């Protein structure tokens, strides 16, 4: 299970970590005296980097253009235009954007590095922020409010039919 003919270090590492944790809990709960997975060593993982092809980008643009859900389209476009993580865009608040200086200030609580991150935004991103201000109820802080009052949108796929793969 930890080694395979396909040589997938990520899967092997996650499996090893689960086994090590499982046996550590068994020791903690008095079910075992030792951890046979304690000597597991992580394998080197290589990050994959892949970009959408021109054809994929064209199909994505067409799908976004045809999608009636402005909230989902706005989230996806902001991710693409800023390089921000989905969670950062979902939890974005109007107060984080300075449209006069064309910046988005992500608070430390929103970033993976737990540091304040200021980034310039394009006119396209500013247009999304302006458009969201027009459709979001007065007093709501979220660019993309969720179904539960006082919370940002939780996921963007719920209730959406899946089309053909890009």
The separation between CA 107 and the C-alpha centre of its own chain, rounded to angstroms, equals 16
Return the pLDDT at 158.
44
* Three-state secondary structure string covering 116-149: CEEEECCHHHHHHHHHHHHHCCCCCCECCECCCC
| pTM assigned to the model | 0.66
Residues 121-151 have pLDDT tens digits of 999 999 999 999 999 999 999 999 998 888 9
Residues 3-52 have pLDDT tens digits of 444 567 788 888 889 999 999 999 999 999 999 998 888 887 777 788 88
pLDDT at 80 over 80: yes
- Domains of the chain, by residue range, sit at 6-49, 54-135
């Amino acid at each position: 299970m930890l080694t395979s003919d396909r040589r997938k270090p990520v899967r092997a590492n996650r499996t090893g970590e689960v086994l090590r944790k499982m046996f550590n809990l068994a020791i903690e709960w008095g079910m075992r005296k030792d951890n046979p997975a304690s000597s597991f060593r992580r394998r080197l993982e290589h990050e994959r980097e892949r970009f959408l092809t021109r054809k994929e980008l064209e199909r994505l643009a067409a799908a976004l253009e045809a999608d009636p859900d402005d909230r989902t389209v706005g989230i996806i476009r902001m991710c693409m235009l800023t390089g921000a993580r989905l969670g950062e865009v979902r939890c974005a608040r109007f107060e984080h954007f300075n449209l006069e200086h064309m910046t988005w200030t992500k608070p430390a609580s929103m970033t993976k590095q737990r540091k304040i991150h200021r980034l310039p935004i394009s006119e396209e991103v500013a247009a999304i922020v302006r458009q969201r201000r027009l459709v979001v109820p007065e007093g709501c802080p979220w660019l993309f409010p969720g179904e539960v009052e006082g919370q940002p949108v939780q996921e963007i796929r719920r209730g959406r039919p899946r089309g053909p793969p890009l």
